[in-house]
Structure 1
Amino acid sequence: MNAAPADQIRLLDLQAIDSRLDQLAHRRRSLPEHAEIETVNADHTALKDLVVAAQAQLGDTTRELTKAEQDVDQVRTRAARNQQRLDSGAVGSPRDLENLQHEIGSLAKRQSDLEDVVLEVMERMESSQTRVTELTARLDHSTVVLKEAEQRRDAAFAEIDTEAEKVKRDREAVAAVIPADLLKLYTRLREQQGGVGAARLYQRRCEGCRVEFSTADLAAIKREPKDEVVRCENCSRILVRTADSGV
């Protein structure tokens, strides 16, 4: 393939632009905020699950307390009613009186036991409420941390994308003046060679693969016409000759 030396040199400009676009894309993918957001997201999800579980436990304990308090109220009401009967003197039979007094004693014991249950449930409910409060505070903090990380990521995205758009416009301007067949070859080689399709020959070396040429290889390159598109024998990239190439 033949191409004017000036067009071949423009490939170096295009390569520099493409390398910059690759750097920007890599920077966009490799922002430290990505790992931070992933970690915070995982913690945030786990905290949400813990909050839901703690709230469910608090709800169960609250219902348990309501039931225990109702049981106490029922026993207390029955005991008060029996005590009222006893105090009224309406119970005349000694046996009925004995039974009533026995039941009042039993109800007092039952009431005491149920009140102990209420206290125990209240302690558990307080503990559950404390856990909900603590977990909710941690979840709220996690939400703030996540939002801040996303904001930093988005700000970095905006900065990178703004520069990338400018670099893309520069690329379009350079690519527009490079012959189509040369541009096609460069594009194909760039895809095959890790993003570098054209490299400068500088101080006996291909700057694409860093291989140093022998004196005989340099002499062979020097004999090639100026408009011949030379390829590096080691990496196959387009080898661009410049005034600093020494050939």
Structure 2
Amino acid sequence: MKASPQMQARLLDLVDLDTTVNQLAHRLRTLPEQTDIDRMEARLPALQEAVVRTGTEVSDLQREVARAEAAVQLVRDRAARDRQRLESGTGSAKDLQALQHELESLGRRQGVLEDEELEVMERAESAEAAEREARGALDEHSARLAELRAVRDEKAAAIEAEKAEVEGGRTALTAELPADLLALYERLRAQLGSGAAALQQRRCGGCRLDINAVDLGRIRAAAEDEVLRCEECGRILVRTPESGL
């Protein structure tokens, strides 16, 4: 294959551009914020579940409080009616005595129910505090997660813009290269990670191995427009003023 020394030298510019694109793609994949985002997103379901669980407990206890209040009120209403009948003096002495006993029984029952009501109310207050804490933790977590996502997106956008600019330069450069030279470069790049390397101080810049004397002799004898390959790694070997030939 033949290509002018100038076109061969442009392959090294293409290598630099491809290296930059790969570095930018790596930066995009390894943004430090993404690690924190992944960790926080993994924890998010547990925080959401805690809010649902504590909210359900609060609702259950509020219904229990309502039932306890209703039971206490029922006893109070019954006692109020009995007291009214007792105070009116209507009925026989036996009936009035029975009312008095019932009032005493209702009083004891009311005391028990009020104690139960107080205990349920205390449990409800504790549950409400737990729900507030769970919601606070979720809100704080969500706010921090939103901040991290915003920072990540801002950094990613900047990297994407830089990558697009470099890729635009690559497109312009590849348009200058001979089709056969570019095709060889792209095939080698797919196989080796880079398609060309400079010959520097009698060493291949791709595999970093020294060129033996026989191959150096072949390189010296080759025409300037002959496209050479490294015998070790197979990359296009571009001669430069620093080749040491």
RMSD, aligned α-carbons: 1.3
- 1:208 matched to 2:199: no
Question: Within 5 A, what are the aligned runs for 1:1-247?
Answer: 1-94=1-94, 96-194=95-193, 196-247=194-245
Q: Distance in 1 between matches of 2:232 and 2:79?
A: 102
The C-alpha deviation readout for 1:114-150, integer Å capped at 9, x for no partner, is 1111111111111111111111111111121111111
CA contact (8 A) 2:82 2:103 kept: yes
- The number of equivalent residue pairs is 245
Identity in percent: 48
Structure 2 unaligned spans of 5+:
none
Question: Which whole-Å deviations, capped at 9, do the CAs of 1:188-234 have from their partners, x for residues lacking one?
Answer: 1111112x111111112111111122222222222222222111122
**TM-score, normalised via structure 1 length:** 0.95
Opposite residue 240 of structure 1, the aligned amino acid is V
SS at match of 2:176: coil
What is the TM-score normalised by the length of structure 2?
Answer: 0.95
C-alpha deviation, 1:44, in angstroms: 2.6
User: Which consecutive unaligned segments of at least 5 residues does structure 1 have?
Assistant: none
SS at match of 1:200: strand
C-alpha distance in structure 1 between counterparts of 2:46 and 2:241, whole Å: 62
| Cα shift readout 1:7-40 (whole Å, capped 9, x = no counterpart) | 1110000110011011111111110111111112
> Could you tell me how far apart the structure 2 residues matched to 1:103 and 1:227 are?
118
Instruction: Give 1:93 deviation, angstroms.
Output: 4.3
Report the more deviating stretch, 78-87 or 22-31: 78-87
Amino acid at match of 2:215: D
In structure 2, what is the Cα distance between the partners aligned to 1:76 and 1:183?
A: 96
Distance in 2 of aligned mates of 1:133 and 1:126? 11
Deviations 1:69-103 (A, max 9, x none): 00100011101111221222113042x33432222
- Look up the SS of the partner of 2:90 in the other structure: coil
- Is the 8 Å Cα contact of residues 174 and 182 (structure 2) preserved in structure 1? yes
Q: Whole-Å Cα distance in 2 between the matches of residues 230 and 239 of structure 1?
A: 5
Question: Runs of 4+ in structure 1 displaced over 4 angstroms?
Answer: none
Q: Which amino acid aligns with 2:28?
A: R
Offset of 1:43 from its aligned partner? Answer: 2.3
Amino acid at match of 1:61: L
- Partner SS for 2:124: helix
